[in-house]
Structure 1
Amino acid sequence: MSEMINNREYRRKVLKDLITDLHNGKSVDEVKQRFEDTFSGVSAAEISEVEQALIMDGMPVAEVQRLCDVHAAVFKGSIEDIHRPKEASEVPGHPVHTLKNENRALERLIEKNIKPHLEKLSNDRAEAVKLLRKDLELLSAVDIHYKRKENILFPYLEKYGITAPPKVMWGVDDEIRALIKKAETALDDTPAVAAAAIREATDKINEMIFKEENILIPMMLEQLTEDEWEKIYNDSDEIGYCLIDKPVAWKPQGKEAAARKKENAGQEGALVFPSGVLTLSETRCILNTLPFDITFVDKDDTVKYFSEGRDRIFARTKAVIGRKVTNCHPPASVHIVEKIIKDFKDGKKDHEDFWIKMGKRYVFIRYFAVRSEEGEFLGTLEVTQDIAPIVSIGGEKRLVEP
């Protein structure tokens, strides 16, 4: 038993040393041989532990992210199968089946459309550019795939203390989003520049598919319960699907129809305010009817509540409840969130505003410090609204429309 533990610790140390060597500038070829000599296989869980250790030792998330593609190349073909029954995840409708189905659709788009159309660039540029624009528009739907991963899957890993891989993967997702936009712009450049930009984006997507199916999915299958997979399934419609139709209905095998009414039931009762009395149902409906979205983060930086209006600007699912707010944002913008909350806690500010263009929408994002009557900091309220219709108002309107 002690020999197994010592061997595992040794493997973990070597694995960490290899990634550190890459970080310090060694090439993949220089470390690959040592990896192959030392390991007959490495689990997704061990990769996760190594990334966690690197970040805990002070290596910035961005540095681990920079290594992500390199160590994936080293590990490729060496990740052992996680010994867990896979039948459930192969059933249509299961969230893992859906993720893989989307990956197959992305691979088909790249192999059957994008690559053949790239070959035409040198001969019939005008037609090739027209086809590739349509291809890249379809490819940009990968954003939906990544949003579902970031907003629904990652929170469950975080609940099990697995935080480094989601942060690293989210950073790479953002890189891919940027590369697709870069490829769309490059179509106006020379065929060589356009082809290089498109290949860079598709190569990165293929690498992410490998990481999802050989690192992320095995890790989640190892940790998550059937109840959690069912919650993921129930939340997925909120964000949508990438290049596939809505999956068929799915429930965990052996699940009884009467299970867990308690979670969604919610007691109807009176809520007494200084200015009136409302039932729970009335309160919920009022909050969901407000012409803006609200999200409340408590004093411990944990997401406690969000409104469920009909046309939310930013996707929210119930998986976000209980999640640390810093894990709800891309690594590149976490420092902004942390600064706002720190200023609120320190009493330096009571609100902070931002406004950004998102297609036809003009999004006004406001953050407010929520304080008790005694001035105690209770949390942060985010208010998000599309103000484009308001900005366009002119003249007067005094009559009711028929």
Structure 2
Amino acid sequence: MSAIEISLMEQELISAETGITFEDVMQLCDVHANLFKNAVQDVEVADADKPGHPVRVFRDENLALRAALLRIRRLLSRLAGASEEDAAAIRQGLTRQMSLLGQFERHYQRKEELFFPVMEKYGHTAPPKVMWGVDDQIRELFQVASQAIASLPEADLSEASKAFEAFAAEFESMIFKEESILIMLLLEALTQDDWIQIASESDAYGYAIIIPHEKWVPERVAFDASASAESDLADPNTRVIETPDGQVTITFTPKATSQTVVDRETPQAFGLGHLSVQQADMILNHLPLEITFVNKDDIFQYYNDSVPADEMIFKRTPSQVGRHVELCHPPKFLPKVKAIFSQLRSGEREKFEMWFKSESRGKFVHVTYAAVRNAAGEFEGVLEYVQDIQPFFELGSDYYRDLEKPEGK
């Protein structure tokens, strides 16, 4: 069977009135993957094995991640009975390899933020939801294993090895699901344009262990008008295709539509003044905030372009625009997302604020979710704005004006 058929089965189970939830399917994910082992049709797609193609990069990362797993297993086995001097060197090696293995987070993020939106576009919403839920379980297992190994030699070696193997079993199972089901589904469903978009946005999330050094440049096949018959050239809406048995003529008649041309440069009434669309766009992109707007239909409609994607606190890429907001978040966060949107929509709350310290990135992140209402008070959507406020905590004095000459200069 094909990977698409497996996807449709999952979709039917979850969407039909059976009482089966995506959590139920997630719990049986390993059973379902093993059931179809060696039974999924392979898919041959041009360029998929070429350097730089997202599928080739994805598979190369899995090879590198498997190698890191093997090295950690060997180091843990050597640690038992090692001398004090050797044990110190082995623990140092374990720290290095666990750091490398931890880069699987980038691999998962690209899958969740770039692969999943395109799958959803073609109606495959169940597999991404199920896989994202399992991804989060694997992340939690990795944190437990990391803490156990980092606590050596004080921690018990057998317990640390047990925690690592619990993670490794689920992690290796996910690699199988990615390569035997996910990639097959993607190769069947996605177009070359989809892969080009994924490749162009991949750098924003980074790569796991390996970094592609070659850019994938696909061969683009265009219609050659010179090969058409002379009558073909006379009418731009007619094409003549030569076949061994004769000619096939295709005629296209465009619908008469009235298109409204948006003037981006002429100022118009905007708030309490006048701005052009171009100026409004520039102003939004110059605000020191990451802004996201989700409309009243819960569709991710807009985000500003204030910083490059790889510097964003909450990474956003063009492929996410148009997604339902529930599909933009890990399944474990959905109850919180639904609660926020429900209270903002109903008017029970007008704003939610939260903040957290990101030690790894040296940022103090402040997040606000605010209800957007029109002049009549009707709910139009939710505005999210995110800011790094760490620089405010590092101000050196209570008073400073940039135009003043600093003392001693």
TM-score by length of 2: 0.80
Q: Which residue of 2 aligns with 1:329?
A: 329
Identity score, percent = 40
Tell me by how many angstroms 1:372 deviates. 0.7
Tell me by how many angstroms 1:251 deviates. 3.0
> 2:203 and 2:335 mapped to 1: Cα distance?
30
SS of aligned partner of 2:368 = strand
SS of aligned partner of 2:204 = coil
Matched, 1:250 2:216: yes
SS of aligned partner of 1:90 = coil
SS of aligned partner of 1:244 = coil
2:373–2:380 contact (8 Å) kept in structure 1:
yes
> 1:328 and 1:342 mapped to 2: Cα distance?
17
Q: Which residue of 2 aligns with 1:170?
A: 132
Tell me by how many angstroms 1:393 deviates. 4.0
Tell me by how many angstroms 1:340 deviates. 1.3
Q: Which residue of 2 aligns with 1:157?
A: 119
SS of aligned partner of 2:28 = helix
| Letter aligned with residue 352 of structure 1 | F
SS of aligned partner of 2:197 = helix
Change (3 A) 1:247 1:128: same
> 2:209 and 2:374 mapped to 1: Cα distance?
47
Matched, 1:76 2:37: yes
1:297–1:381 contact (8 Å) kept in structure 2:
yes
Q: Which residue of 2 aligns with 1:262?
A: none
Offset from partner CA, 1:133-184 (integer Å, 9 cap, x none): 2111111111011111111110011111111110111111111211111111
Q: Which residue of 2 aligns with 1:294?
A: 291
Q: Which residue of 2 aligns with 1:179?
A: 141
Q: Which residue of 2 aligns with 1:376?
A: 378
1:270–1:277 contact (8 Å) kept in structure 2:
no
Tell me by how many angstroms 1:268 deviates. 4.1
Tell me by how many angstroms 1:90 deviates. 0.9
Q: Would you tell me which structure has more helix in proportion to its own residues?
A: 1
Tell me by how many angstroms 1:267 deviates. 7.0
Taking the TM superposition and a 5 Å limit, the aligned residue runs for 1:309-388 are 309-310=306-307, 311-359=311-359, 360-388=362-390
Aligned partner (choices 195, 203, 206) of residue 237 of structure 1: 203
Tell me by how many angstroms 1:99 deviates. 0.9
Q: Which residue of 2 aligns with 1:389?
A: 391
1:136–1:180 contact (8 Å) kept in structure 2:
no
Q: Which moved more, 1:322-331 or 1:335-344?
A: 335-344
Q: Which residue of 2 aligns with 1:4?
A: none
Tell me by how many angstroms 1:382 deviates. 0.6
2:113–2:320 contact (8 Å) kept in structure 1:
yes
| Letter aligned with residue 202 of structure 1 | A
Aligned partner (choices 107, 120, 136) of residue 98 of structure 2: 136
Change (3 A) 1:349 1:209: same
Cα RMSD after superposing both structures: 2.1
Q: Which residue of 1 aligns with 2:5?
A: 46
Q: Which residue of 2 aligns with 1:282?
A: 279
Q: Which residue of 1 aligns with 2:164?
A: 198
Q: Which residue of 1 aligns with 2:28?
A: 67
SS of aligned partner of 2:385 = strand
SS of aligned partner of 1:182 = helix
Q: Which residue of 2 aligns with 1:34?
A: none
2:51–2:212 contact (8 Å) kept in structure 1:
no
SS of aligned partner of 2:98 = helix
Tell me by how many angstroms 1:101 deviates. 1.4
1:118–1:195 contact (8 Å) kept in structure 2:
yes
Matched, 1:106 2:102: no
Q: Which moved more, 1:204-213 or 1:151-160?
A: 204-213
SS of aligned partner of 2:387 = strand
SS of aligned partner of 2:353 = strand
Offset from partner CA, 1:15-42 (integer Å, 9 cap, x none): xxxxxxxxxxxxxxxxxxxxxxxxxxx3
> 2:354 and 2:279 mapped to 1: Cα distance?
31
Q: Which moved more, 1:293-302 or 1:173-182?
A: 173-182
2:48–2:55 contact (8 Å) kept in structure 1:
yes
| Letter aligned with residue 245 of structure 1 | I
Change (3 A) 1:142 1:276: same
> 2:318 and 2:46 mapped to 1: Cα distance?
27
TM-score by length of 1: 0.82
SS of aligned partner of 1:96 = helix
Count of equivalent residues: 350
SS of aligned partner of 2:48 = helix
Structure 1 or 2, whichever has the larger Rg, is 2
